[in-house]
Amino acid sequence: MLSITDLKKGTLITIDNQPFKVVEYAQKQMGRGGSIVNTKLKNLISGATVNKTFHGNDKIESADVSSQKVQFLYADTALHFMDGETYEQFEIDPDLIGDQAQLLKEGMDVTAQLFEGNVINVELPTKIKLEVVEAPEVVKGDTQSTVQKKVKLETGAEIMAPIFVKTGDVLVVDSRDSSYVERAK
């Protein structure tokens, strides 16, 4: 059991046998020593978000979520993964991981989070190396208003990158917000 002082952004808890992740967290000190914590929680099964307030003496159940390394195989109407140890394959709905699904590359190792034996989330590495397959040329002198351009990556994802990026370059992309980090060395 957790107390409200154990809650932090990213903490996994269980409410009514449903796993939740703390997305936002704000602690407020009330008069006479009591405190409350306002949280925004994301249901890891349905994806819905709820606001919940916890009071000073509340006890919160921590979620029993396990992690395991898996490999991304391919995507069709679902995303297909394989456990590297048991070679067991499973699929998840692309909506479960949202925009990050566009950054998945065949053969990529990711971390699957399981709750009661069911996959509830897939975490990509923070930095991913992807090749640029389409990058428009920039006309000389056209740099006054725009210092970035939209480039297409090998996975089909489009991101904003600096104007010096060319087709064939390998970029490091931040998977949390699909943003350009640097050219791969």
Same domain, 50 and 10: yes
Same domain, 171 and 154: yes
Residue range 7-20: mean pLDDT, rounded: 85
Structural domain boundaries enclosing 175: 127-183
Residue 43: CATH number of its domain: 2.30.30.30
Residue 4: strand, helix, or coil:
helix
Q: What is the DSSP letter of 87?
A: -
How confident is the model over 128-183, as pLDDT tens digits?
A: 999 999 988 877 665 566 688 899 999 999 999 998 889 999 999 998 888 999 98
Distance CA 157, CA 63 (A): 33
Distance CA 113, CA 90 (A): 13
Place of tokens 């107390």: 3
Specify which residues 52 forms β-bridges with.
Answer: 39
Residue range 44-52: mean pLDDT, rounded: 85
Same domain, 58 and 81: no
- Band of pLDDT at residue 9, cut at 50, 70 and 90: confident
Say what the pLDDT of residue 141 is.
64
Last residue of a domain, one of 102, 123, 144: 123
3 Cβ contact list (under 8 Å, min separation 6): 58, 59, 60
- The contacts found for 19-22 with CB under 8 angstroms, 24 or more apart, are 19/43, 19/44, 19/45, 19/63, 19/65, 19/115, 19/120, 20/44, 20/50, 20/63
Say what the pLDDT of residue 113 is.
86
Specify which residues 37 forms β-bridges with.
Answer: 27, 54
What pTM did the predictor assign? Answer: 0.71
